[in-house]
Structure 1
Amino acid sequence: MLAENSEIGVRADGESGHAQPGIHATSAALAAPIAELREQWRRRQAWHRAEKALTLQAKALCRRLAEGGDKAEADRIYKAALGTGSHQMADVALAAIFPLTEARDGIAKHRATVEKRLVKLAKVLPVAPWVEETRGVGLLSLAAIVGEAGDLSAYANPAKLWKRMGLAVMPDGGRQRRVGGVEALDHGYSPARRCVMWNLGACIVKAGGPLKAVYDARKLYEADRVETKAHAHNRAQRYLEKRFLRDLWSAWRRASPC
């Protein structure tokens, strides 16, 4: 079995074979936009969580209106209340959920404004042209990574960035994951950061291009090693996500002024 790290060009000790050792300093000119980007990203995430919470509350109210609390009927009531389809309880449901959906729509509007600002901030980063040329990746994705990881110059090698984003291989050979107890600190796993990379990987797979070819090759490799196609897909997409982060880290170092 080939080690996952070695296949992506990182030695077992976590150092990249082609990278300069140590921290690569970013110019002071980038400190302010990166700091604002991180704050704006935290705001965006908080508002996005609020939107989802309000949606769940609205659906819970609709479930109370459904016969026997049936979830499928509750979904139909919810959609009918918002104007999609019809249901005899649609008007009652709309009256019940309107304050929630109104608040959610207001948050969504402001979130969209924050996302526009995030794109503008990401565009000033030296690595932005490289990102824009990568199929399946946009400036908002770059903003998400920097928002979660901060200045990529602070990571001495790709393996450290992988760990920050939930993609590390732990010393025992297992994958970084959510754990409890004393192991939690070593894993340092964040579902939110892992979600950023999973969504990005899915976009790259859908978009096609050179990185999709990397995914396809890896999926064929994994197909003989796992029991299901779903497992092969998951492992191949994870490999793709790590490859992208490695390439982004390298492009950042090349583009950032010393």
Structure 2
Amino acid sequence: MLDQADPRTLLALLDWQVELGADEAILDAPVDRYALAEAEERRPAAAPPLARPAAPPPPAAAPEVDAVAAATEAAERADSLEALAAAMAAFPHCELRKGARNFVFADGRPEARVMVVGEAPGREEDLEGRPFVGRAGQMLDRMFGAIGLGRDRPDPGAALYITNVLPWRPPGNRAPDPAEIAMLLPFLTRHVQLAQPDVLVLMGNTPCQALLGRAGILRLRGQWTEALGRPALPMTHPSYLLRTPEAKREAWADLLSLKARLAG
């Protein structure tokens, strides 16, 4: 019997079947190959593979925000200095706020006759949250103290109210760019409207650019002009006086002009 044959005999029989043309194993029941061919012809065509669903369209880009219009709307809604400070602190469209430690709004007495407008917070101001507290701020206090004015004076006639064009420190104390100035100008405008000072002192190029549309502080300083419907005096920034001591004589002349204006 085959199941008792030795492996060499079984292998020889397998080779003999291959030579005869056997190319597949024999099943338990016969297969009608003609019937298989007819069944294949009658089989319905296979459905095409399902198409892969189209990828969803990319989300529409968010509409670009008009930051100046948004600032104008937020500033106009503020009916007090406290409300204005809250609106500025919450304003989301200025990138400077992301790198600043503190929001710097103002210092001094809001009822003061004189409102000083500087550029932007520096390192010390950013740390403390008040404008003009570093070396330049100490110089400013000495300058105005020489004509009897100070941020801590209780009398509005002898007091100062101090703010900046920008409430957040620019990286590396760089100068504000025109887009940043334009974005935050509506807040500064409303700040002046709410504080109602008699006189504005514009310390340096940036407030002159913001409120006068001009720069070149060495040409503008000492020349009375008008900003936001109020008398305005451009002056060199205290930091410039620290770098250029010989310019203090001109700054003293400007301070005397301010004193005379307040007296007259």
TM-score using structure 1 length: 0.20
Structure number with higher relative contact order (C-alpha < 8 Å, ≥ 6 residues apart): 1
Q: In proportion to residue count, which structure has more strand?
A: 2
Which structure has the bigger radius of gyration? 2
